[in-house]
Amino acid sequence: MRLIFAGTPEFAVPCLRAAAQKGEIVGVYTQPDRPAGRGRELAISPVKREALLRGFPVLQPENFKSKVSREALAALKPDLMIVVAYGLILPQSVLDIPTYGCWNVHASLLPRWRGAAPIQRAIEAGDRETGVCLMQMEKGLDTGPVLLSAKLAIGDNETGGQLHDRLAELGAEVLGDGLGLARAELFPRPWVQPEQGVTYAHKLDKAEARLDWNQPATALANKVRAFNPWPMADALIAGERVRVHGATALAQAHGAAPGTVLRAGRDGIDIACGEGVLRIRVLQRDGGKAITAADYLNGRRDLLAVS
């Protein structure tokens, strides 16, 4: 099969590798190079880097609004277009170009968590299970019929970054299975997503990362896990703003005001929440690196007096 691959971040790279094993990659679409880092130098996407290593032709249009960009895609005569975290919503005029349309690999069990940040939103909501869906794309946002899916349990202490990596590999497996069936002309039979159970995974915002001590400790612990490694939760601890890398919720009753440091020791710093207690285990001071609570307390001897 003549395949077009469209993707941008690291999450899409395993799927590009899987597609390359199952068909002929005639073109790789990815977002244009963007300024990044302190020097604001142009940086290429992980998908572009992988495509160049493999010698695949790379195309980077800003969008598909122009007739020229659509004609360039049609000239490749694709049988199928595979879209994985590309970063653009494709118009119907593009979805109609490949012979068998466009497939999307989405990191959730649809219809739950349609949208931009399904991995982080699943952890933030306290979900115990997630997965990957291979979907036939249509005009709506992640509304198309599902071709194949696979489930994955979310670990109790799993971070957004850790779950991202596991789902990226699972997505590649599901895509490989789908392409294997298609190559044998045994296309997966789609099932329409139910209307019940639809939720949306809105894009992450740095403003969300600040911990509100009035919330329950379980909600804050989930947010800490979900937002690691980006945008990373931050909190005010006894007057100092820090980034929180690791924390645990304790079902502990207290009569203190939210935000009060209840206890500080080598195993963590316990903060009173609206319900329960959040024990901060790993944190980062401004301009520093991630350290354990024990190391942090070496520079905050005032907190050791708290009992």
96 phi and psi, to 5 degrees?
-85, -10
Confidence category of residue 307, pLDDT binned at 50, 70, 90: low
Q: What is the pTM of this model?
A: 0.95
Residue 185 scores a pLDDT above 90 = no
Task: Give the span between the Cα atoms of 244 and 149, in whole angstroms.
Answer: 34
Q: What is the average per-residue pLDDT within 100-120?
A: 98
Confidence category of residue 232, pLDDT binned at 50, 70, 90: very high
Q: What is the mean pLDDT of the chain?
A: 96
Helices within the chain (DSSP H only): 13-22, 46-54, 67-75, 92-95, 118-124, 160-183, 217-226, 293-298
What pLDDT digit, counting tens, does each position of 23-55 carry?
Answer: 999 999 999 999 887 788 889 999 999 999 999
pLDDT: is 111 or 303 the higher one?
111
Cβ neighbours of residue 112 closer than 8 Å, sequence gap 6 or more: 122, 127, 197, 198, 199
Per-residue pLDDT, 200: 97
| CB distance 294 to 266 below 8 Å | yes
Residues flagged as binding site for (6S)-5,6,7,8-tetrahydrofolate: 108-111
What pLDDT digit, counting tens, does each position of 58-74 carry?
Answer: 999 999 999 999 999 99
Is CATH 3.10.25.10 correct for 206-305? yes
| CB distance 90 to 83 below 8 Å | yes
Beta bridge partners of 266: none
Q: What is the average per-residue pLDDT within 242-270?
A: 96
Q: What is the average per-residue pLDDT within 291-303?
A: 93
Residue 16 scores a pLDDT above 70 = yes
Instruction: For the chain, give every residue range classified as CATH 3.40.50.170.
Output: 2-201
Q: What is the average per-residue pLDDT within 104-125?
A: 98
Residue 12 scores a pLDDT above 60 = yes
Q: What is the average per-residue pLDDT within 67-87?
A: 97
Residues flagged as binding site: 108-111
Q: What is the average per-residue pLDDT within 189-200?
A: 95
DSSP β-ladder status, 277-284 and 240-250: antiparallel
Per-residue pLDDT, 193: 97
Say which CATH class 2-201 falls into: alpha beta
DSSP assignment of 217-286 equals: HHHHHHHHHHTTTTT-EEEEETTEEEEEEEEEEE-----SPTT-EEEEETTEEEEE-SBSEEEEEEEE-T
Instruction: For the chain, give every residue range classified as CATH 3.10.25.10.
Output: 206-305
